[in-house]
Chains A and B, each alone.
Chain A
Amino acid sequence: MSIWRYANPAEFMRLTDRLVVPLWAAAAALMAVGLYWSLALTPDDYQQGSTVKILFIHVPAAMLAINTYAVMAVASGVGLIRRHHVSFLVAKAAAPVGAAFTAIALITGAVWGQPMWGTWWVWDARLTAVLIMFFFYLGYMALWAAIEEPEKAADLSGVLCLVGVVFAFLSRYAVNFWATLHQGASLSMAEGQRVDDVFRTPLYIMIAAFYVLFVAILVVRARTEIRARRARSLRLQEARA
């Protein structure tokens, strides 16, 4: 069975029809457990105090900010190469979700930074790359909205998305390339350096909650785009008749 059959809008709608409700339910359940564990069951950190609780939302949001861009880039690349409309629509559907997660990462990072670093913002390589990536999300959405012809909008915004990949890549790896104020990857560090288990377990639950929520929103938004495209095509047929 080929994966490309899901590029057929009818097939995509049929498959995802059964997924929407379980995805919302799983996201709500994971979010409830994760929030309770993060806020009520974890102790304060000996250095960060209660601001450590901000990281339970900052880390998943930052991960999704970058990975949503990766999803958009792959979908745009597939759309440009194989000319599958669903790929472009998935990229279009992912953009506001990625922008929202990037905004959450930037805001929660600033709110954590003020008491811990003594500043809301620094022009650090990772922070700057994430801010530029946020502007790419906004630019991508603006380009889709500005061009009336859907085929042309899909192509041009797809190219813009691929140009912005460099900033998504830098958002992820800037901490490995340069000595930045932002810390490195806490979850993949060696034993003894990484986040303690007491924080790691609720963090993993929150990461899972954010990812499932992302998939639920993405699926519903992709279905919305397919329906809107179908309605537009029917209206055009009616106007021509």
Chain B
Amino acid sequence: MIDYLANDRHALYVVSAYGATAAILAWLVWSTLAANARARRDMQDAEQRRRKG
């Protein structure tokens, strides 16, 4: 990997493209799971309140 980065003249382009893709996909997956957990909690709270009330 270090050899590749040091010796390939296009290495920076390839690493930038994969880095940007990894960052966007990581944000997409994280935001998806976080929003899902929040929605699940909200729905459970609302259902609990309804059962109690």
Chain A residues within 8 Å of B, Cβ to Cβ = 39, 49-51, 53-54, 57-58, 61, 96-97, 100, 103-104, 107-108, 111-112, 114-115, 213, 217, 220-221, 223-225, 227-228, 230-231, 234-235, 237-238, 241
Contacts and interface: CB of A to CB of B under 8 A. Distances in A.
Interface string B17-43: 110110011011101110110011011
Nearest to A49: B10
Contact of B10 (A108, A115, A217, A241): A115
Contact of A111 (B20, B27, B28, B43): B20
Given A107-B20, A224-B35, A51 B10 contact: yes
B16 to A, nearest CB: 5
Contacts of B31: 96
A224 B14 CA distance: 35
A230 to B, nearest CB: 5
A217 B38 CA distance: 16
Nearest to A113: B13
Contact of B46 (A61, A100, A231): A231
Contacts of A96: 28, 31
A57 B13 contact: no
Interface of B: 4, 8-11, 13-14, 16-18, 20-21, 24-25, 27-29, 31-33, 35-36, 39-40, 42-43, 45-47, 49-50, 53
B14 A54 contact: yes
A65 to B, nearest CB: 12
Nearest to A60: B21
Contacts of B10: 49-51, 115
Contacts of B29: 217
A114 B16 CA distance: 12
B52 to A, nearest CB: 10
Contacts of B39: 223-225, 227-228, 231
A100 B28 CA distance: 7
B47 A100 contact: no
A111 B16 CA distance: 8
A54 B50 contact: no
A221 B47 contact: no
